[in-house]
């Protein structure tokens, strides 16, 4: 239980309001760290630039002090419907608060916005720790994220892996792979690795302009990583975002032909070395569906598993959305997508994925 819950009765005269879209804010560092990079205007701002989805920012104040905040993006799509969500196209974040009264007040305001905007639901994705969803909200706990504590000397971390996993990392280092970390100079190769690998997995992906706008908006806090084989061909790639002493894996995939050579292990271990030596303290491996193959892979790195809370406020008559690959309805779509030609996939992908924020 969080310590501030016992003191919630002391919070009085709380004011919650909707900010003007581009209004300057002075949100406290503590709340921003908790809310993550998706709360900052740079994140919903680039999403708005690419997909024309507007965003809204809510804040709760007591005596002119911000005690709660939320950033929401309005998604509108002919297939997947209209809804409001925090952390669009990311794992979680965009919501933080000092106490239960501030939390509930911001959630109430988000629910009012749902009604005013006439959308199907509001989705708030964040780390609620041991808190239960309040009345009017439902939790859909199907995802977790995985946190690895980094060291300046990565060998101490390496020693804690299983012997089998250490062996796989060593094998990957003997395959002639090399990795580059950079920014817009790696845009083309980073996009190629992600778009091709996502197609192999049966999932649509964004267009290159999405990655370009993200990199331009986030600046030096975003890094692309690209793995190449000995002949210079793209093996796979990743997108990593730094906030304070935490680096988050937003996307990271390897092409199927290189998986048996443990190229995924090479990418992740290279990132651990790179960011550990740069002084980063925590590597967030990114979300995965609980019980999935992706989770099995991430558990090999001895992370702290943090279940994520996905709280929904549904409009009357709307059932809980289930937009993930565990849904049997998606299995046929995934199988068909894998078989479509690359040009068609890259044309249709951005249209489809824009609705899966």
Looking up residue 47, the CATH number of its domain turns out to be 3.40.630
**Residue 166 forms part of a structural domain:** yes
86 and 179 assigned to the same domain? no
Q: Confirm if 272 and 247 have CB atoms less than 8 A apart.
A: no
CA distance 215 to 155: 31
Given a cut of 80, whether residue 93 has pLDDT beyond it is: yes
pTM for the whole thing?
0.92
* Percent residues over pLDDT 70 in the chain: 96
Given a cut of 50, whether residue 4 has pLDDT beyond it is: no
Q: Confirm if 349 and 206 have CB atoms less than 8 A apart.
A: yes
Given a cut of 50, whether residue 140 has pLDDT beyond it is: yes
| Residue 12: per-residue pLDDT | 63
Given a cut of 80, whether residue 22 has pLDDT beyond it is: no
168 and 219 assigned to the same domain? yes
16 and 90 assigned to the same domain? yes
199 and 250 assigned to the same domain? yes
Given a cut of 60, whether residue 306 has pLDDT beyond it is: yes
Torsion region of 81: left, alpha or beta (phi above 0 gives left; psi -120 to 50 gives alpha): left
Q: Confirm if 348 and 204 have CB atoms less than 8 A apart.
A: yes
Greatest C-alpha distance within the chain: 65
**Residue 357 forms part of a structural domain:** no
Given a cut of 50, whether residue 9 has pLDDT beyond it is: no
**Residue 335 forms part of a structural domain:** no
**Residue 11 forms part of a structural domain:** yes
35 and 79 assigned to the same domain? yes
DSSP 172-236: HTTTT-EEEEESGGGHHHHHHHHHHHHHHHT-----HHHHHHHHHHHGGGEEEEEEE-TTS-EEE
**Residue 217 forms part of a structural domain:** yes
Given a cut of 90, whether residue 70 has pLDDT beyond it is: yes
CA distance 81 to 78: 6
Given a cut of 60, whether residue 3 has pLDDT beyond it is: no
Average pLDDT over every residue of 282-297: 96
DSSP structural state of residue 315: P
**Residue 180 forms part of a structural domain:** yes
What is the total count of domains within the chain? Answer: 2
**Residue 332 forms part of a structural domain:** no
For residue 152, with 0-12 CB atoms within 10 Å meaning exposed, 13-18 middle and 19 or more buried, which class applies?
exposed
**Residue 29: which H helix or E strand, with range?**
helix 29-35
121 and 155 assigned to the same domain? no
CATH number where 274 lies? 3.40.630.30
Give the tens place of pLDDT for each residue, 308-349. 999 999 999 999 988 777 777 778 788 889 999 999 999 999
183 and 250 assigned to the same domain? yes
**Residue 248 forms part of a structural domain:** yes
139 and 175 assigned to the same domain? no
Given a cut of 50, whether residue 83 has pLDDT beyond it is: yes
160 and 42 assigned to the same domain? no
Q: What's the pLDDT band for 21 if we cut at 50, 70, 90?
A: low
Give the tens place of pLDDT for each residue, 185-233. 999 999 999 999 999 999 999 999 999 999 999 999 999 999 999 999 9
**How many residues are listed for the chain in this entry?**
357
What SS3 state is found at 83?
Answer: strand
Given a cut of 50, whether residue 173 has pLDDT beyond it is: yes
208 and 128 assigned to the same domain? no
> Which has the closest alpha carbon to 112: 79, 147, 81, 136?
136
185 and 212 assigned to the same domain? yes
217 and 177 assigned to the same domain? yes
| Residue 333: per-residue pLDDT | 85
Give the tens place of pLDDT for each residue, 222-262. 999 999 999 999 999 999 999 999 999 999 999 999 999 99
Domain containing 124: what range? 3-144+308-320
């Amino acid at each position: 239980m969080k310590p501030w819950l016992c003191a919630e009765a002391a919070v009085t005269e709380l004011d919650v309001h909707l900010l003007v879209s581009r209004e300057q804010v002075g949100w406290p560092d503590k709340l921003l760290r908790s809310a993550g990079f998706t709360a900052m205007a740079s994140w919903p701002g680039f999403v708005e630039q690419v997909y024309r989805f507007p965003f809204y920012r809510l804040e709760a104040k007591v005596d002119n002090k911000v005690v709660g905040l939320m950033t929401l993006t309005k998604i509108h799509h002919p297939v997947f419907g209209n809804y409001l969500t925090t952390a669009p196209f990311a794992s979680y974040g965009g919501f933080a608060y000092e106490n239960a009264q501030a939390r509930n007040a911001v959630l109430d305001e988000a629910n009012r916005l749902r009604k005013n905007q006439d959308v199907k639901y509001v989705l708030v994705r964040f780390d609620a720790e041991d808190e239960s969803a309040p009345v009017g909200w439902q939790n859909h706990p199907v995802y977790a994220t995985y946190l690895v504590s980094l060291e300046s000397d990565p060998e101490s971390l390496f020693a804690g892996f299983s012997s089998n996993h250490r062996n796989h990392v060593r094998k990957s280092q003997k395959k002639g792979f090399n990795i580059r970390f950079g920014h817009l100079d790696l845009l083309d190769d980073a996009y190629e690795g992600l778009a091709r690998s996502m197609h192999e997995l049966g999932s649509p992906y964004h267009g290159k302009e999405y990655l370009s706008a993200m990199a331009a908006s986030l600046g030096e806090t975003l890094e692309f990583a690209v793995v190449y084989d000995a002949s210079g061909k793209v093996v796979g790639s990743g997108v990593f975002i730094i906030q304070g002493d935490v680096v988050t894996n937003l996307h990271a995939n390897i092409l199927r032909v290189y998986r048996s050579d443990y190229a995924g292990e090479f990418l992740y271990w290279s990132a651990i070395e790179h960011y550990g030596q740069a002084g980063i303290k925590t590597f967030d491996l990114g979300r995965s569906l609980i019980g999935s193959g992706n989770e099995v892979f991430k558990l090999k790195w001895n992370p702290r598993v943090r279940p994520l809370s996905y709280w929904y406020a549904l409009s009357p008559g709307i059932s809980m959305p289930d937009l993930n690959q565990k849904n049997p309805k998606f299995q046929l779509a995934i199988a068909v997508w894998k078989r479509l030609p690359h040009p068609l996939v890259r044309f249709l992908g951005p249209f489809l994925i824009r609705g899966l924020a």
